[in-house]
Structure 1
Amino acid sequence: MQAQLRIARPVSDLSRLESMYLVALNLVVLARFQDHQGFDGVMLGRAGMDYHFEFTQCREHPVSPTPTPEDLLVFYIQDREAWQSACERFIENGFVQVKSFNPYWDVLGRTFEDLDGYRIVLQNARWSG
C-alpha cells in the first residue's frame, strides 16, 4: 500500500510554529487556510515528500497542545555533517534541546522540543526499516 502521511497538530501560536518548522526542516508552505469552519491552519512540506505537517488553531474552541515526553517525530540523518547542521538549525529557530525521556534516543541523537512541548529527535544513524 502506498500512502502519504499528514501529521496534524493543534498549536498555541500558528505563526511562530510555522516559522520554526519551515526553517529548521527546510520546508515550504504547501497550503494555508483561514476560518475553515472555525479553523486556521497551514500545511508544510516539500513537493515529492511522502509526509507533511498541518498545524491548526481553532477560533471558537482553542485546543491546548498536550504532548507527552514520548510523543516523538524521529528523523534519521546518516551524514554526520548534515545531522550537525540540522541540530544547529533547530536551536537557531527556537527549538530547545532536551534530555530524552527514553535514553535510547540520546545515544546517537538529540531531542528537541517546540514551543508547545512536542518533541523531534534528530538521529545520526541510517534508517534500517
Structure 2
Amino acid sequence: MRHPVLRVCRPSDDPEALLPFYREGLGFDVLCRFRDRQGFDGVMLGHPGAPYHLEFTRAAGRRAGRAPSLDHLLVFFVPDATAWSAAVARMRCAGSAPVQSFNSDRDRSGESSEDPDGYRVVIRQSTWTV
C-alpha cells in the first residue's frame, strides 16, 4: 500500500525570504514555483521522492503576518547523532540561531530555530515513536 503524500501549506508575506532557512538550513530542494496562480505566488520545497513537502504562498493584496504563537512548528526526528549534528550545523551556517522552545521538552533532545515568518522548526535527535 502506498502512503499518501503530506503537503504542509502556509501563507507568507515573502516566500523568497524563507528559502535560505529551508534550502540551506534544512537541505530542501525547490520542487516547483508558481506565479499568479489564481492570485497566488508560491514555492514548494522538499526532498525528491519524500512523502512530504512544504508550500509557501503569497496572496496578492493580502497580508499573512507572523506565526500566531511560539508553538506553531514542524518537528523533524533525526535518530543518528552524527546526522543530527550535521543538520544543526547546517541551520547555524544558514544564519539561524537557536531559540528556546515554548515547550521546554523540545529542548531536551533537540534544537529549535525560527524562520523569517516566526514559525519554528525543531530538529530532534531521537527516533519518533507513538
Within 5 Å, give how 1:6-21 maps onto structure 2.
Answer: 6-21=7-22
Aligned partner of residue 34 in structure 2, secondary structure: strand
SS in 2 for 1:112: strand
Which of 60-69 and 103-112 deviates more? Answer: 60-69
Residue equivalent to 1:104 = 105
Give the deviation of 1:44 after TM superposition: 0.6
Q: Distance in 2 between matches of 1:94 and 1:35?
A: 30
In structure 2, the residue matched to 1:119 is: 120
Count of equivalent residues: 129
Give the TM-score normalised by structure 2.
0.90
Do 1:6 and 1:54's aligned partners in 2 also have CA atoms closer than 8 Å? yes
- The residue aligned with 1:28 is 29
CA deviations over 1:46-99 (Å, ceiling 9, x no partner)? 221110000111122222233311112111111111111111111221323111
For 1:29 and 1:60, the matched residues in 2 are separated by 25
2: CA distance between counterparts of 1:127 and 1:92? Answer: 26
What is residue 54 of structure 1 aligned with on the other side?
Answer: 55
Q: Specify every segment of 5 or more residues in structure 1 that has no aligned partner in the other structure, as ranges.
A: none
The root-mean-square deviation of aligned C-alpha atoms, in Å, is: 1.5
Q: Distance in 1 between matches of 2:78 and 2:45?
A: 20
Residues 35 and 90 of structure 1, relative CA distance in 2, 3 Å threshold? same
Query: Which amino acid in 1 is paired with 2:92?
Result: I
Which of structure 1's runs of 4+ aligned residues deviate more than 2 A? none
Matching residue of 1:79: 80
State the TM-score, normalized to the length of structure 1. Answer: 0.91
Over the matched positions of the two proteins, sequence identity in percent amounts to: 41
Cα distance between partner residues in 1 of 2:13 and 2:90: 22
Structure 2 residue matching 1:61: 3-state secondary structure: coil
